[in-house]
Structure 1
Amino acid sequence: MTFLKKIKDTLSFMSSFDSEELECVAKSDPEGSKAFLSHSYLQDLLPYRLYDPKTGIFENEDSFGFAFIIPPLAGVSETKEEELEQLITSLYYEGGACQFLLFADPFIGPLLDHWGDLLPGSPKIVYRTIERRKNFFRSEVINDNPVLKVPPRNFSVLVSYSVPKNSETISERFQRKLLSHKRNTFNILTRITQNERLVQEMTPPLLIHYVSNLVGMDLNIHCDAQKYSDKMLINQQIQTGGGVEVSPTGCVFRSQANMLFKMFQVTDLPSNWSIFDNPQLIGDPVDDSYRLQTPFFVHYGISYASQSKIKSSLMSKELLIKNQLRSMSFLNKNPKMLEESAEYNYALRKYEEGEKFVTTRLNVGIWGAQERFQDSYSALVALYRKNGLKLKETTFLHFDDFLRSLPMSWGSYVVNHALKKSRCTRTSMTGHSANLCPIFADFCGFSSRGTPLISRKGQLTFFDPFSNSTKSHTSVIGPTGAGKSCFLNEMIFNFRANKRRVFVIDKGGSFRNLCSLLGGQYISFEPGDSFDLNPFSFLDQKGLSNDKSAKDNGNPFADMMETLKAIIRTMYEPDGNINPKEKTTLDRAVEIAWKTRGTAARIDDVVEAIEKEVNYTTDINNAKREDLIERLKLFCSDGCYGKWLYGQKKIKFQSDLVIIETNNLDALGDLKPVILQTYFLMISREIYTGDRTQMKGFVIDECHNLIKSPQWAYAIQLGTREYRKFNAAMILATQGLKDFSTKEAREAFTNSEWVITMGSGTEALSTIKKDNLLPLDAYEEEILSSLRKEKRFSEVAIRSESSQHTTVYRFRMDPFSLQLFSTNPTDYERFRVMREKGFDIEHVIDWMIPLKDKFRCLDEAKIHPKDQIEQLLSETSLAMLQKLKGGTGV
């Protein structure tokens, strides 16, 4: 029975009953009618039958096969092309087939569930905030008119191989060969992905999951779970949804939201197509209008044909053309004949060199709700036309073509025969086949936790600096208004959601709402405060290693001593312009004071050491010494800055979230950099003496104000060198790459594993080129220059130094988080008023969101934020007012 006849007979059988006959059957035999109606005839069309758990080989209806699942690759390289060529060549068996299926599905629910699967004991507000975000992403998927035209989705690549079932392939000898092919495929895919854990062997539960998603497509973020039973055939366990309605112009997948479906095949390729053009198969990297807005897949099948037949055919054609080309008149009328002759000659030469002839087919399937299907249809046609690929709709054969695109389907003799009869395949060589393998998409491999992001082509991913276990430091670059503070808020929130400790040096109150919501410790400086910030007191050796030979674990005490010396040098010269002689003098005096008094030492002891221990032979040098002493006396116990260093208010870090607000330090003049570096010393001590199993993040926002100082840049440089050994990451946020121009700051930048660029990337690109900060290829330059910020999302370019690859993502927040992380001055003032009234932040935001239009009108009327709050509170119900005051927020 042919494949088409099988479909025809099944559909004919189902349509042979009219409604009255079905009603009679139902009354006379209720159990039989129930079995008839519950039977899925679509399952009968699927080839999957049995599975051998010992070998991992599937026995299908008329074929044997295996498959693997890998995440799509983010970067194209010649090495990956060579590995793909080796894979395709090594699997040769006449009648066998290799298939690549890149599936862009909307089922992001499992990703979100895993992201929201927090550690026990996380604050309840964290669970509620994450649940809001999950519901928000779900609405983005199912909404007919989402903000992001390309909604969140998940890309996966299914690589399968199958051979027809015959007297040779059922033999034990061939089964061993098939197992060898399977091991070889795994090894090659491991090299391609560069991570063995990313190569997942296809098992019956996974096959049921993926094929159910394909044949039961629905516009939802969750798919029905189905347990596998080895007591039933595999095809009988595949979920087929509500059925498929087939017509000459396409299909309708019946589900909660009926999905239109069409298949297309590529009939011609540009002559200069290479593997580096491959990512264009799923969307343009820059232009939104050339991206598919609905679920789709790209399938590429490679069938290993009879070598002798194709060789004989090519030789006959080449001989015919040579004879025809003897006539000049014929050549003048058919100038392309020379090209054809050269192609045939080239193919035969490659065959003699060891390459194999294959027949290939590239096709695309798209689904979509009626409201959005036409947009995807138009984008697909335009995208392929733009890249020189001719696309043709498979009229009358949409459903047949769909079934032939499923994993391990091409190894069937029936399918192979149908493909030959349809004449829809192209003859190619194994060396060229890799160019069209659809395995490239946006990077999705950061982590299952972290900051949720959506790539330009729709891949939902989660950015976590700690996803690289060897280096996790991060540099975030973005001008004012690019969304940098919101992005950092989101990073901090996800750190705390996963029970990581976070320290933040802030300027401008960007993190105050988040700190209040999560019950963190907020430290700010107010006029009249008297702090105990003596830097010597934080050098307590308890819990610190002073083993200079302990290279692997670092020498934290030595690093902290260097930071202490840098603080004293800053007291003398805040701008860091200090000569080697002065540096040596100060460093020696600090060592003497420490040796004499330990943690009880003060700047007074440093001055005393200089007066007693340091002498010069010339009046000029003595004058310098006196100047040095006079500067340091400002920081002594009776100096003008003494109350800030030896006061009554002892600061201790009492929370796993510590926000240090520095906005009021601007009025303190030369004391400001000293206090900031002292806090750096305190945080470093917490990192060095804390639990190494707990990840820690140290965020410095607006660090461009700090790294201008060589002393500060030096301290940061030490941190980026040593923190990773203590499971800590430093996150530096600045407004431009120019801020990393000094030697020390540049080293801190180059120690970053992640470089995140936000807003317009034109300036960043110019600085990178001018100062040679990063090696960028043409593709990275193009996407950096295309970065943009829109009202409801920001684009971020994330570059991994390890992979040296850059991908652009869209940072999209739900209304609650958008309000929570806002740094808008008007929003900030509203929150300040509500905090003074003692209202709970979470309930305040829930109250504000429905009133956004009213707030906008009041803004346009130039009404002060405080008066806005008073007016709207007067219109608020008593129950809501009680709720605003009653929530704990944590």
Structure 2
Amino acid sequence: MAASKATLKGDRTSTPQKKLNVRAIDPDSKVFFCSDGNEHYLGACFVSDALTGASSSTVDKLQSALSMNFAAGTYIQIAMLESPDVGEYIDAYLNSKPALNPILKALSRQHANLINGGVDNPLVQRSGVMLNRQRVIVTVKFPCRTDSPDDADIAATKESADRVTEALKAASLNLFQLDAVGYLVLMRILTKLWDAPRSHYDEDQLIKDQVYYPGDSINYDDPSTINFNDGAHYAKALSVKHFPQKTSLAIMNHMIGDPNGLSNQITDPYYMVLTIHYPDQVVKKDEVKQTSSIINHQVFGPTAHLIPILSYKKKGIDTLVHEIDGKGAIIVEVNFTIFLFSRDKQRLNKLSAGLQAYYTSLAFELREDRRILEALWNNLLPLNTSNEGVKNLYRFHTMAVRHACQFLPILGEWTGSGMGGAMLLLTRRGQPALVDLYESSTNYSGIIFAEAGAGKSFFTQKIAADYLAAGAKLWVIDAGRSYLKLCKMVGGEFIEFKPESDVCLNPFTHVEDLHEEMDILKATIAKMAAPEDTLNDYQLSRVEQAITSTWEKFGNAANITAVADWFINQSDDEECRRLGRQLFPFAGGQYTKWFDGENNLDMSNAFICMELSDLKGRPALQQVVLLQLISRINHDMYKAQLGERGRKKILIVDEAWEMLDDPMMAKAMVAAYRKARKEDGAVLVVTQAIGDVYASKNTEAIAANSAWQFILQQKSESIDSAIDSKQFKIEPYGAHMLKTVHTMPGKYSEIMVKRSETDWGIVRLVVDEFHNVTFSSKGAARNEILDDLDRGVDAVEAVNNYMARQSSAA
């Protein structure tokens, strides 16, 4: 790339930093001094995560924040920067995975490498979006009367900036004020998007001279494209020529790309900035009224029919005058520009053309800026706007603050629950999202909904692998052998429950606090006595009495036979004697061996898989076994909490929803949820149709006690059924978006992660071939690897060998 003409002539004034005007900072107040030698300002810079939604109340708060009585010449700039600096998310994910287990370590690293690779290649080819992170940038600049501001000037600026930001915080923008280091990091991200941002700051140099590095160049010779550092990357600018006549803040959710996340995406980094200039209100309002008089005179003149645009202008100016006269509006001058960046010039040209067409469908008319790119770029950088720029750019539109609030680029993607890093997912518009069950203020439990073929088993295995790699203890209760392969690969314990199994599940063996265990013990005895029926209140009270009396007599040596004997010995109560006889299958009958003796279930392994599929022909026994397993796991959570405080403990119950759709089972499950929460444990229940859960009072109670809901692809009628139940609560827009959640087999699965009616987001699970092979629960990928494991082949080697065989056969 040829050097710029100015550089060839040796003109040093063309160096990039000469156009910047942030000179110094007061470290205590974090107030910046900005000056180009002619104009002087004091200001502040803030960053925030994007809002994931907004209501009319949000808009009212934004309007209030921007309608303060600012001095003439004040600037407020609100921008959305989408950049590829995602290392913080990748590091958070990897840092939470200390596992030494080879397969778990390989899965974590492979996943981190795959996601990180999205910076250079789209992880979802159909959307074409590169991996990015969004941040909202807010700057405020107030005119300063001198080039040597004193303490009073700085204090006044700090007070004004705080008033603005506190008002914006009320609208849920979580603003963080930047110091000199933070500002330099931000500017270096903006100007060197694909380089790792550096935080070096020299207090003895002007801030503006530290943004660019020696040798950096910005070439404007191409009238429509900015060339950074001799072709390292390029930029184009699009500015609004006409705003929509009618719109709302919700439109900004579409300006960053179609929320459905496939077509009409901004595939590469961008800097979308709204600059608001506060002119002298008296002078500006007089100008508006004068313009109104001229336009109205033209409209009613003899040539009005020859100029159709006059009616459009009249409508706009009438609206503005109405805001001034009827509502005392604050009038501002607004510029909306988006800078698009790419390392490929052809890709940038296609992106610009496609985006203009897409914005037209949103009633925005944006034009590609030409010949003024240098002035535009320098004036729209944070804290760099000036009166001279406003006057000469001819890109500012006059409107009321109420109108300007609809175009604030503050809406973005839901990016997870925090920085816990347990699970690393991807949003529809290309941001990494971190999700951790333990980042919840209520409880850590949840439900996974997924219809057949939506990727339920795959997603659940990914959760299990991620938490095992993080050092958690996991129990899985399944009825389909979906976890057999993963369990063997990580060296877990796979326990199959068969009629001939030599397993004893005596519920009394591990009881330490009878009061704590009573709910599940009652449910167990009740289910044994009445597998097809529900006991009444009197019967349940007698069951509790029987448990208490047997415990007082035998302690941990008690068993179901002793409980049955107590019932039968109540000679004056035929109801009790009948309950004792009904317990016969478990106290003298075919199931006695399962509960007579000392509980011998070994659950010392970090990963325990309990398989119940062989008990499907004995539903009564299967339900009782499930209850006892949950009871035992609750006890182990309690013991683990005493011995390993802080270790995460998770129970996953899969393929068991039909067993839980029972009054006693549901009560026991809710009790298990409460006890798990008390011991810092989590319970995940996996089911299929969301509508089925909310159609039953039994299972509805379990859902009500789940802080998390992970919803994979669902049929529309199932979603409607859940909403009609009035128990599944989600805002209308969320319901609409839930119906768009889908799975692309072999590519990705989408999941709506929901914590409340308004706190939800849609993420994608995208994995590599290593994960596909590891989690495959059918076909050759399952059978051949299980055979290798049985022969003593290392799990990682088994997966790699299978992939090599498939590759050579292709």
What TM-score, normalized to structure 1? Answer: 0.84
Asked if 2 retains the 8 angstrom alpha-carbon contact of 1:211 and 1:238, the reply is: yes
How far the C-alpha of 1:244 sits from its partner, in A, is 3.0
Per-residue CA deviations over 1:82-115 (Å, capped at 9, x if unaligned) read 2211222237221110111101111212220122
1:477/1:689 CA distance change after superposition, 3 Å: same
Counterpart AA for 1:838 = G
Query: Could you say if the C-alpha distance between residues 516 and 92 of structure 1 is closer, same or farther in structure 2, counting changes exceeding 3 Å?
Result: farther
Cα RMSD over matched residues?
2.8
Which deviates more, 117-126 or 710-719? 117-126
**Structure 2: gaps (5+ residues):** none
Distance 2:443 2:598 in 1: 39
Shift of 1:262: 0.6
Q: How does 1:548-563 map to 2 (within 5 A)?
A: 557-563=514-520
Are residues 1:528 and 2:500 paired? yes
Following superposition, the deviation at residue 690 of structure 1 comes to 3.1
**C-alpha contact (below 8 Å) 1:472/1:729 kept by paired residues:** yes
Q: Is the 8 A contact 2:561 2:596 kept in 1?
A: no
Call closer, same or farther: CA 1:193–1:516 in 2, change over 3 Å.
farther
CA distance 1:228–1:446, shift in 2 (3 Å):
same
The 1-side partners of 2:718 and 2:203 are apart by 57
Q: Provide the residue aligned with 2:628 in structure 1.
A: 678
Q: What SS does structure 1 have at the residue aligned with 2:25?
A: strand
Q: Does 1:464 align with 2:417?
A: no
Alpha-carbon separation, structure 1, partners of 2:19 and 2:292: 41
Matched, 1:283 2:280: no
Does the 8 Å contact 1:250/1:399 carry over to 2?
Answer: no
Give 1:121 shift.
Answer: 6.6
Query: How far off is 1:11 after superposition?
Result: 5.2
Deviation at 1:149, TM superposition (A): 1.9
Distance 1:202 1:683, change over 3 A: same
Q: Which of residues 114, 133, 147 in structure 1 aligns to 2:92?
A: 114
Q: Which residue of 2 aligns with 1:661?
A: 611
For 1:138, what is the secondary structure of its paired residue? helix
Q: Indicate yes or no: 2:8 matched with 1:15.
A: yes
1:81 alignment counterpart: 59
- Which residue, 673, 684, 689 being the options, matches 1:736? 689
Structure 1 CA distance for aligned equivalents of residues 124 and 512 of structure 2: 56
Task: Tell me which residue corresponds to 1:231.
Answer: 204
Look up the match of 1:619.
none
Larger helix fraction of residues = 1
Separation (CA, whole Å) in 2 of partners of 1:563 and 1:476 = 23
Partner residue, 1:828: 782
* Residue identity opposite 1:774 in structure 2: F
Kindly tell me: are residues 366 and 672 of structure 1, through their superposed partners in 2, closer, same or farther at Cα, counting changes over 3 Å? Answer: same
Q: 1:160 aligns with which of 121, 139, 160?
A: 139
In structure 1, the residue matched to 2:540 is 583
**1:378, distance to aligned residue in structure 2 (A):** 3.7
Distance 1:472 1:649 in 2: 28
Q: Determine if the alignment matches structure 1 residue 485 to structure 2 residue 485.
A: no
What do residues 754-786 of structure 1 show as CA deviations (whole Å, max 9, x unaligned)?
222112452441222232232333321221111
Residue 818 of structure 1 corresponds to 772
Do 1:278 and 1:436's aligned partners in 2 also have CA atoms closer than 8 Å?
yes
Query: Contact (CA 8 Å) 1:714, 1:745: kept in 2 or not?
Result: no
1:319-398 paired onto structure 2 within 5 Å:
319-324=293-298, 329=302, 340-341=313-314, 343-351=316-324, 353-370=327-344, 372-398=347-373
Instruction: List aligned pairs for 1:67-466, cutoff 5 A.
Output: 67-90=45-68, 92-118=70-96, 123=101, 125-143=103-121, 147=125, 149-167=128-146, 170-193=149-172, 198-218=174-194, 223-239=196-212, 243-246=217-220, 247-254=222-229, 258-286=232-260, 288-324=262-298, 329=302, 340-341=313-314, 343-351=316-324, 353-370=327-344, 372-410=347-385, 412=386, 416-448=387-419, 449-466=421-438
TM-superposed CA distance for 1:625, in Å, is: 5.8
* SS of residue in 1 equivalent to 2:171: helix
Q: 1:784 aligns with which of 738, 753, 771?
A: 738
Question: Could you report, residue by residue, the CA deviation over 1:837-878 in whole angstroms, capped at 9, with x for unpaired residues?
Answer: 1211121112222333456x6xxxxxxxxxxxxxxxxxxxxx
Q: Separation in 2 of the partners of 1:144 and 1:503?
A: 36
Q: Where does residue 877 of structure 1 map in the other structure?
A: none
- 2:733 equivalent to 1:757: no
Residue 595 of structure 1 aligns to which amino acid in structure 2? E
Instruction: Say if 2:269 and 2:342, in contact at 8 Å, map to a contact too.
Output: yes
Q: Could you say what secondary structure the match of 1:481 adopts?
A: coil
- For 1:193, give the aligned amino acid: S
Q: Distance in 1 between matches of 2:463 and 2:751?
A: 13
Conservation of the 8 A alpha-carbon contact between 2:81 and 2:272: yes
The CA distance in 1 between the partners of 2:251 and 2:604, in whole Å, is 54
On the 8 A contact 2:630/2:672 being kept in 1, the answer is: no
User: Which piece of structure 1 moves more, 74-83 or 561-570?
Assistant: 74-83
Asked whether the 8 Å contact 2:670–2:701 carries over to 1, the reply is yes
Amino acid at match of 2:634: S
For 1:840 and 1:185, the matched residues in 2 are separated by 60
CA displacement at 1:213 relative to structure 2: 1.6
Per-residue CA distance 1:374-400 (angstroms, 9 max, x = gap):
442244123211111001000112343
Residues 709-748 of structure 1: matches in 2 within 5 Å? 709-737=662-690, 738-748=692-702
How far apart, in 1, do the equivalents of 2:532 and 2:160 lie? 66
Cα pair 2:445 2:708 within 8 Å, conserved: yes
Query: Of residues 420, 423, 446 in structure 2, which corresponds to 1:474?
Result: 446
Name the SS of the counterpart of 1:49 in structure 2. Answer: strand
Alpha-carbon distance between aligned partners in 1 of 2:408 and 2:242, rounded to the nearest angstrom: 15
CA contact (8 A) 2:785 2:802 kept: no
- In 2, distance between residues paired with 1:821 and 1:501? 19
Taking a change above 3 Å as real, the CA distance of residues 215 and 91 of structure 1, as seen in their structure-2 partners, is farther
Please give the alpha-carbon distance, in whole angstroms, between the structure 2 residues aligned to 1:587 and 1:171: 78
Change (3 A) 1:532 1:814: same
Contact 1:66 1:160 in 2 (8 A): yes
Q: Which residue of 2 is the match for residue 594 of structure 1? A: 551
Q: Distance in 1 between the 2:504 and 2:122 partners?
A: 59
Percentage of matched positions with identical amino acids:
20
Matched to 2:626, the amino acid is: L
Distance 1:646 1:298, change over 3 A: same
CA contact (8 A) 1:450 1:464 kept: yes
Q: What is the alpha-carbon distance in structure 2 between the residues aligned to residue 809 and residue 707 of structure 1?
A: 28
- Taking the aligned partners of 1:121 and 1:755, their CA distance within structure 2 comes to 27
How many residues were matched structurally?
793
User: CA 1:774–1:333 in 2, change beyond 3 Å: closer, same or farther?
Assistant: farther
TM superposition shift of 1:680:
0.5
> Structure 1 pair 594/40, CA: closer, same or farther in 2 (3 Å)?
farther
Farther off after superposition, 372-381 or 419-428: 372-381
1:400 to 1:681, Cα distance in 2 relative to 1, 3 A: same
Partner AA of 2:774 in structure 1: L
- Within 2, Cα distance between the matches of 1:81 and 1:75? 11
Deviation at residue 594 of structure 1 after TM alignment: 2.1
Tell me how far apart the structure 2 counterparts of residues 441 and 831 of structure 1 sit (CA, whole Å). Answer: 42
Pick which of 87-96 and 782-791 moved more. Answer: 87-96
Report the Cα offset of residue 429 of structure 1. 1.2
Cα–Cα, structure 1 residues 648 and 721, in superposed 2: closer, same or farther, change >3 Å? closer
1:629 aligned partner: 580
Q: What is the Cα deviation at residue 142 of structure 1? A: 1.0
CA–CA distance in 1 between the matches of 2:357 and 2:760? 26
Aligned partners of 2:798 and 2:377: how far apart in 1?
Answer: 51
Give yes or no for contact 2:479–2:654 (8 Å, CA) kept in 1: yes
Given that 2:447 and 2:686 are in contact with CA atoms closer than 8 Å, whether structure 1 keeps it comes out as: yes
Please tell me the residue identity of whatever aligns with 2:602. Answer: K
Identify the range of structure 1 (89-98 vs 154-163) with the bigger mean alpha-carbon deviation. Answer: 89-98
Task: Name the TM-score, length of structure 2 as normaliser.
Answer: 0.91
